[in-house]
Structure 1
Amino acid sequence: MHIVILGCGRVGSTLAHTLEDMGHTVAVIDRDPEAFRRLRPGTAGAAVEGLGHDRDVLVKAGIEDASAFAAVSSGDNSNIIAARVALETFGVRHVVARIYDPRRAQVYQRLGIPTVGTVHWTAETVLRRLVPGSDGLDLGPLWRDPSGTLAMTEAPLPHGWYGKRVEQLESALPLRVAYLVRGGELVLPRGDETLDAGDVLHVLARVGDLESVQERLSGEES
């Protein structure tokens, strides 16, 4: 699979090396030729100098044959414009853009462009580790789909559900269990999987049902 990356900072160069190690081909775009020093010699041959939303630059990077495009430069505007060109002009199937402003990230998610809201995601992740369970923090959405219909939320298993099955939880609440974290390991549970003390649930629910799901999961009654 060929993947085009905009931005040769620490994230972009790490992505490029990781993807190559996985057997994919990559091209890295950056307007600063000095940035390519982060690339190892073999990867540097796929460096393309220029603006990520310039069609000629994208074509030179192989966008016409690309299966994926990642915009991870330091500029929100550059990332989102380049992502839209890749998606709408060249029809790249898998496109993601790094966005620092969380308000912009939400807007572009609704436009169908998956985004990684760097500041918001980092702050939320740190807070979850600092004050788990404080003011329902662990129940905040971890992910929303681009249409804004579904969200994934995290919650410790309430005491009232110890020893019960996943299918019972899914029947009682408008949710689906995506996975569990149990003893530091990920578990993809079947419906007959028994829920244990200490399990951390990662569940999918419709955004409209999220508040009631959070309230039920934060309570003790099953």
Structure 2
Amino acid sequence: MYVVIMGCGRVGSSLVAGLERLGHEVAVVDRNPQAFRRLGPEFRGRQVVGEGFHREVLVEAGVEKAQAFAAVSSGDNSNIIAARVARENFGVERVVARIYDEKRAAVYERLGIPTVATVPWSTDRLLRMILPDGVASAWREPSGTVAILPLPVHEDWVGHPVSELERVTGSRVAFIVRFGTGVLPRTDTVVQAEDTLYVAAVSGTVSDVTAAAAAAPQEA
């Protein structure tokens, strides 16, 4: 596969190295020629100096034959403009942009440009390393608005319907791992002993959801 990478910082150079190890052909674009030093002497691809959202620069990098394009420079605006040019002007099939601002990421996702919201994803990774198992999110959609997390529940939830758990916690049970097998819950599904529940929750409510699930259900 031929891939064009815009941005030769630490992320871009690491991405290039990974792609080359997998046997892919890579072209790298950066406005700073000194940035290419990160690639090392073993780099076999093309180096193009310039702004990655300029058509002529992308053409020089071979975007017209590229199957994938990644914009991973340090600027949100540059990344999203370059990604849109690659997608809309050159028809590159696989396009992704790194975005620091998670609110912007949500907007660009709606425009059809896949994004990686760096801050929320990094935060989740750090939380998984710092907090006890089952507290941090296992997955977060790119805009950072919704997270899926394994939810420990009080033992008294066994025998109660997942719909009641959803009502009390304000989350949605996405799936259950039961005896090593994934199960999609229905309205009449009840919590069983040894279940691992994965719920979808809005960012900022994870602590409240976890606290509600850790408490015994209130008897009607």
What TM-score, normalized by structure 2, do the two folds share? 0.70
- Give the equivalent residue in structure 1 for 2:80: 80
Post-superposition offset of 1:220: 5.6
Is residue 8–residue 30 contact of structure 2 (8 Å, CA) maintained in 1? yes
Residue identity opposite 1:64 in structure 2? E
- Give the equivalent residue in structure 2 for 1:155: 150
Post-superposition offset of 1:61: 1.3
User: Counterparts of 1:195 and 1:29 in 2: how far apart (Å)?
Assistant: 54
> How many residues matched?
201
- Give the equivalent residue in structure 2 for 1:177: 175
Q: Where does the alignment leave 5 or more consecutive residues of structure 1 unmatched?
A: 181-187
Inter-CA distance 15–203: structure 2 relative to 1 (3 Å threshold): farther
**DSSP 3-state at the match of 1:106:** helix
- Give the equivalent residue in structure 2 for 1:142: 139
Q: How far does the alpha carbon of each residue in 1:69-122 deviate from its partner, in whole angstroms, 9 at most, with x for none?
A: 111011111111101111111111211111112221222122221111112322
Alignment of 1:64-143 (within 5 A): 64-132=64-132, 138=136, 142-143=139-140
Q: How far does the alpha carbon of each residue in 1:144-203 deviate from its partner, in whole angstroms, 9 at most, with x for none?
A: 378x9x955012343559999xxx979x976543989xxxxxxx84549x9847x5x556
Residue identity opposite 1:31 in structure 2? R
Residue identity opposite 1:143 in structure 2? R
Identity rate, percent: 47
What TM-score, normalized by structure 1, do the two folds share? 0.70
User: Counterparts of 2:156 and 2:94 in 1: how far apart (Å)?
Assistant: 38
User: Counterparts of 1:86 and 1:122 in 2: how far apart (Å)?
Assistant: 26
User: Counterparts of 2:47 and 2:28 in 1: how far apart (Å)?
Assistant: 5
Residue identity opposite 1:153 in structure 2? I
**DSSP 3-state at the match of 1:112:** coil
User: Counterparts of 1:178 and 1:35 in 2: how far apart (Å)?
Assistant: 47
- Give the equivalent residue in structure 2 for 1:18: 18
Inter-CA distance 15–33: structure 2 relative to 1 (3 Å threshold): same
Compute the RMSD of aligned alpha carbons: 4.0
User: Counterparts of 2:54 and 2:121 in 1: how far apart (Å)?
Assistant: 29
Inter-CA distance 98–67: structure 2 relative to 1 (3 Å threshold): same
Post-superposition offset of 1:22: 0.8
Q: Where does the alignment leave 5 or more consecutive residues of structure 2 unmatched?
A: 167-171, 185-191
When Rg is computed on C-alpha atoms for both structures, the one with the higher figure is 2
Q: How far does the alpha carbon of each residue in 1:113-141 deviate from its partner, in whole angstroms, 9 at most, with x for none?
A: 111111232233323443448xx9635x8
Post-superposition offset of 1:47: 1.1
The structure where helix makes up a greater share of residues is 1
**DSSP 3-state at the match of 1:5:** strand
